A and B are shown apart, each in its own frame.
Chain A
Amino acid sequence: MSEDVSEDVGKDRGDLPWQQRMLDNLWLLIAISIVVPGILYLGWGLWELVELPTWGAR
């Protein structure tokens, strides 16, 4: 657990590889988690449903 902390403890963040900085960036991860399924699943799906002639009909 805390013993799993990266070996890069004590390094300045700027010294870390960009891949690790990317993995550590929670806000970027949140954006990815919303954008990818938001486009592939939700956006694409909604677009197909709205195109149906019966969509919204009562």
Chain B
Amino acid sequence: MAAPATPAPSRVCNVTGFTIERNGQRLALANGVVAIALLAFGGFQAILIALERQGLAISADWWYRLIASHGTTMLLFWLLFFEVAALYWGSTMLLNARMVAPRLAWANFVMMTAGVLAAQWAMLSGNATVMFTAYPPLEGHPIYYAGVLLFAVGVLIACIHFFANVVVAKRERTYEGSLPLVVYGLAAAAIIALYALGTGAVAYGMLFLNSIGLLETVDPATYRLFFWGIGHGAQQVNLAAMVAVWYALIALTVGGRPVNEGLSRVAFLLYIAFIHLGAVPHLLVDPGLGTSHRIMNTSYMLYLAVLASLIHAFSLPASIEVAQRERGFTKGMFQWLKKGPWREPGFSSLVLSIVVFGFFAGVTGVLMGTMQLNMLVHNTLFVPGHFHSTVVSGTTLAFMGISYYLVPILSQRRLVAPKMARWQPYVFAAGVFTFTVAMMFAGQLGVPRRVPELGYEAAPLGLDQFVTGPVPLIMLVVTLGGVVAIVGGIMYVYIMVMTLLKGERTETPDDGLRIAFGPAARMRAPAGEGAVETAAPTATVTADGGEQEHEHITGLKGRWRRWTRFEAPGTYLLVLIFLAWFVVFYVIAHVNLSQSWPVG
């Protein structure tokens, strides 16, 4: 590979074998650190919000301020800051390339941080209690809109910088052929972000001009149309980045490769073309849009993006299964899964986020993307249940998993408290799973979202529907699950902060981790905890230099033996179970619909 035209200081990573350029390393770390700080800040707000549900902590006034700040922090600031870190990491380290304009990237970092601080000030001071959606005619302080705009423009510039890095890397031939799949997934995220940030700039730009008196009025329906381009579009950026991180975690933890890389790329293409239509379900009760627009986009075009997710839903576990079987775990349907590195935080984060995202977040998302079914739960607590299972169980957990590797590798510090790291994904996932499912149950019973007091105590006419019966118990489960999730979040932040501040400087930052990729996979620790577990070689070299294949799948008896014709039979069975779950969920939802609005 040819050297860059203007070489910057760089080093070869002992763990992965990649060339790490200093600018890319520092910028990825800086953006990642701010992201983790924002996660901690948003998590602290979540404690107060969860406790308020039991009437323990704060007033309704502060609850709305915190909901506004918590939503904006977690849905925009934390995730997009982390994604900028991932874009810089992917376009430099994974391509053995360099940052094209590091000074611009630092200026951009300062601008994004300033935007976050400005918006936070406005929200927490009570000058912009407009919630995450900021629907007009609610009015916020101009500094709020300016802050969000600065941040959005900063992310846009970071995406453009990512493309510039990729183009220059190609020209300097630091990689050949197609982009590696992980970088391709990050490129899909950056591409999706361009449209999302563009529509967001129009939406927030209208409100900013209105707030300083340069635009007399903002049409609410037009605003909502543009807003959901970023409101939901930003979550689609998360989706593509999360899938890319999943593929990276498979490579890191079990040394797996996609079973059909071309098909995985086609799935990313489907995201790029159709995933933005996932914004339409937010507008299903808007009176301005016609029925054709709603039904065409939600019940037809959106399914092309769902198809992409179904492709990944097969490809990801199949990649794990094939890698594990190649390692010798060939017995039966699920030895490959049972013998997975479950004590490795990257692997547990990977599997837990895939399972919860697929079985709960994805299925409920498709349900809410169906116009008729959406009406059952629109604006109820089911909606936060859905998006917490996507953004927290899915994206946040996946990002936590990859940071157990990126932070030590980029900072060249040994991970602090590796035993706590083993448990953290389980604690966090258990808490999030509990409160998201409880939220969905509450939403099924009609409990509204964005209401601090379910008895409407401050209203002239109270409502006891949600303060009697099963709802108080369900809301208690929401709070308890939230507290457990917050404990898991604190564990994560503690490990990251202590690693950055107190972690021992080392040339082998994978100590305490078990990486199955690159030079680290060459078993620097052939025995003991760090070793990559292997059951038996799957192939042996014969005297004539050829390979004698061992049986790829063993131990299946009776009619199950015919499943050995599949390369990944365990995954095949799992996806059939997943599809059955999908059907059951859909049938239950339609039964509920028929009981809500009987026909005839």
Q: Which residues on A are within 8 Å of B, measured CB to CB?
A: 1-6, 8-11, 19-20, 23-24, 26, 29-30, 32-34, 36-38, 40-42, 44-46, 48-49, 52, 55-56, 58
Contact = CB atoms under 8 A, between A and B. Distances in A.
B371 interface: no
B289 A1 contact: no
Which residue among A19, A33, A37 has the maximum number of chain B CB atoms within 10 Å of its CB?
Answer: A37
B195 A40 contact: no
Interface of B is mostly: helix
B194 A26 contact: no
A37 to B, nearest CB: 4
A48 B177 contact: no
A33 B280 CA distance: 16
B229 A8 contact: no
A14 B219 CA distance: 50
25 contacts: A1-B180, A1-B181, A1-B182, A2-B175, A3-B257, A4-B247, A5-B176, A9-B176, A11-B177, A20-B178, A23-B178, A32-B272, A33-B195, A33-B272, A33-B276, A36-B274, A37-B229, A40-B296, A41-B225, A41-B229, A41-B297, A45-B225, A48-B288, A52-B288, A55-B221
Given A9-B177, A40-B296, A4 B277 contact: no
Given A8-B178, A42-B199, A52-B221, 4 more contacts: A2-B94, A23-B265, A40-B301, A45-B225
Q: For chain B, which range describes its interface: under 10, 10 to 19, 20 to 34, or 35 or more residues?
A: 35 or more
B178 A29 contact: no
B565 interface: no
B76 interface: no
Closest 10 CB pairs of A and B: A37-B276, A9-B177, A6-B178, A6-B177, A4-B181, A33-B272, A36-B273, A9-B176, A45-B225, A33-B191
Contact of B293 (A5, A26, A45): A45
B121 interface: no
A6 B225 CA distance: 40
B314 interface: no
A3 B251 CA distance: 9
B184 to A, nearest CB: 8
A4 B257 contact: yes
Contact of B269 (A8, A29, A45): A29
B296 to A, nearest CB: 7
A2 B18 contact: yes
Contacts of B229: 37, 41-42
A29 to B, nearest CB: 5
A10 B269 contact: no
A2 B95 CA distance: 7
Which residue among A9, A24, A36 has the maximum number of chain B CB atoms within 10 Å of its CB?
Answer: A36
Which residue among B18, B225, B261 has the maximum number of chain A CB atoms within 10 Å of its CB?
Answer: B225
A34 B225 contact: no
Contacts of A56: 219
A23 B266 contact: yes
Contact of A24 (B179, B217, B261): B179
